[in-house]
Amino acid sequence: MGAAFKETKLPANAPKSQKALAWVDDRFPLSKLWNDQWGKYYAPKNFNIWYLFGSLAMLVLVLQIVTGIFLTMHYKPDANLAFGSVEYIMREVPWGWLVRYMHSTGASMFFIVVYLHMTRALLYGSYRKPRELIWLFGFAIFLCLMAEAFFGYLLPWGQMSYWGAQVIVNLFSAIPLIGPDLSLWIRGDYVVSDATLNRFFAFHVIAIPLVLLGLVAAHLIALHEVGSNNPDGIEVKENLGPDGHGIDMIPSHPYYTTKDLFGVSMFLFIYSAVIFFAPEMGGYFLEYNNFIPADSMKTPPHIAPTWYFTPFYSVLRATTSDFMWVVMAGVAAYVVFIWLRSRLSYKTKLVITAIAVVLEIGMLFLDAKVWGVVLFGSSVVILALLPWLDHSPVKSIRYRPDWHKYVFILFGIVFIALGYLGTQLPTPAYTLIAQACTLIYFSFFLLMPWWSASGRFKPVPNRVTFTPH
């Protein structure tokens, strides 16, 4: 039998708002949810500006959903009407131009915030034990964002949207055996057409957002289960005070509520400035070719995805037939390095060697286009392995050897360089630079088990360091 219903008793002169809240709480755990997830959720007291980007990502997600709902009220997912409906939104719908620019700018802002959020995790080791699952949920969110952005990119039905989708979908045809059928299934036709637009619209508006919201909820639940990391990388829950909370922890509300509100105000200032003064951002946020209706008979001189995909797109373009010989030499050198320096078991080394031999044979017989797709996918997926690649005895960059900071700086420069090169024409010089950056990019991760554990580490304090400001 179920427990008897117990109604909260309040004084007769209690405010009506308090009575209403008590009535809801008796039937739904509203106050408990607020207190568990934020109101009385205790977090380390030494958060800095890097910890604003998680809440900003939530803000942008809400903005994208709200503006997306208003856009779908006037958008027509039809190859003959899509471009015209976007123009109608921009020119005829009251404040339609603002909603459209909020959505297009929000897409780029979303990736800026998420990339900064991931950078913070990299700097302070927020993916390390016991937060591996938080990182994996975050990585899944990142994949969903990429899918959501890709599907949404086709919807304006401009020249760059059309040809960008054509190029990216054609990549799947390079997969052996299933590639042609898979690319045909994704398009719904032999070329990007009305069928493609309709299914991309369905994925962009319904399927991916539902998955995304579920992953965000899982990300937050996992975070609040193990607790937040901090800039010192110290587990503050291990040093409890008499109240049962960590002595270096404070309630999120009101302390971090006020900090987040300040971050939100600064973000909205920048966001508004872009919307009102530079919504195209020099062609990076909205490409100029996308203001031309899609024409299947006229190819743009330079096809490139939006800027947030270009670091990985550069890896794809850098994979030429000549570069494959360099990759083969790199794989062989890596296997030798593992045999000489790794503490892995003999059986594990044999398995790695067997995999490397299969890869080497595949590189000899499969086209460079296939391996370009493999490296393109690997450059994204390898991020998920960070919790198991980083063997540093400390989490935070504050207590790592100074030269580790230069490794992180080099990685950041390489990532930005790949992003820039992906927006440019693939000249021989740019291709050579992209190939060098690709090698450095993968070396950062594949050699991380060794370089992350090398050097003289600084002693980690027992309590967090904190300076009021």
Domains annotated for the chain, with CATH where assigned, are: 29-284 (1.20.810.10), 304-458 (1.20.810.10)
pLDDT at residue 108, as a whole number: 96
Q: Is 369 left (phi over 0), alpha (psi -120 to 50) or beta?
A: alpha
What's the chain look like in SS3?
A: CCCCCCCCCCCCCCCHHHHHHHHHHCCCCHHHHHHHHHHCCEEECCCCHHHHHHHHHHHHHHHHHHHHHHHHCCCCCCCCCHHHHHHHHHHCCCCHHHHHHHHHHHHHHHHHHHHHHHHHHHHHCCCCCCCHHHHHHHHHHHHHHHHHHHHHHHCCCEHHHHHHHHHHHHHHHHCCCCHHHHHHHHHCCCCCCHHHHHHHHHHHHHHHHHHHHHHHHHHHHHHHHHCCCCCCCCCHHHCECCCCCECCEEEHHHHHHHHHHHHHHHHHHHHHHHHHHCCCHHHCCCCHHHHCECCCCCCCCCCCCCHHHHHHHHHHHHCCHHHHHHHHHHHHHHHHHHHHHCCCCHHHHHHHHHHHHHHHHHHHHCCHHHHHHHHHHHHHHHHHHHHHHCCCCCCCHHHCCHHHHHHHHHHHHHHHHHHHHCCCCCCHHHHHHHHHHHHHHHHHHHCHHHHCCCCCCCCCCCCCCCCCC
Q: With bands split at pLDDT 50, 70 and 90, how would you rate the model's confidence at 123?
A: very high
Residue 285 CA to residue 110 CA, distance in Å, equals: 12
pLDDT at residue 170, as a whole number: 86
Listed residue (136, 181, 198, 146) closest to 386, CA to CA: 136
pLDDT at residue 468, as a whole number: 57
Q: Is the pLDDT of residue 361 over 80?
A: yes
Give 397-421 pLDDT, tens digit per residue: 999 999 999 999 999 999 999 999 9
Give 424-466 pLDDT, tens digit per residue: 988 999 999 999 999 999 999 999 999 999 999 999 998 888 7
Across all residues in the chain, what is the average pLDDT? 92
pLDDT at residue 452, as a whole number: 95
The percent of residues above 90 in pLDDT, for the chain, comes to 69
Give 162-189 pLDDT, tens digit per residue: 998 988 888 888 888 888 898 999 898 8
Q: Is the pLDDT of residue 301 over 90?
A: no
Q: Give the CA distances from residue 318 to residues 325, 366, 430, in Å, rounded to whole numbers and listed in that order.
A: 13, 16, 9
Q: Answer with the residue of higher pLDDT: 25 or 419.
A: 419
Q: Is 157 left (phi over 0), alpha (psi -120 to 50) or beta?
A: left
Tokens 């991380």 belong to which residue? 448
pLDDT at residue 2, as a whole number: 57
- Residues in a beta bridge with 249: 44
Rounded average pLDDT over 281-310? 89
Rounded average pLDDT over 198-226? 95
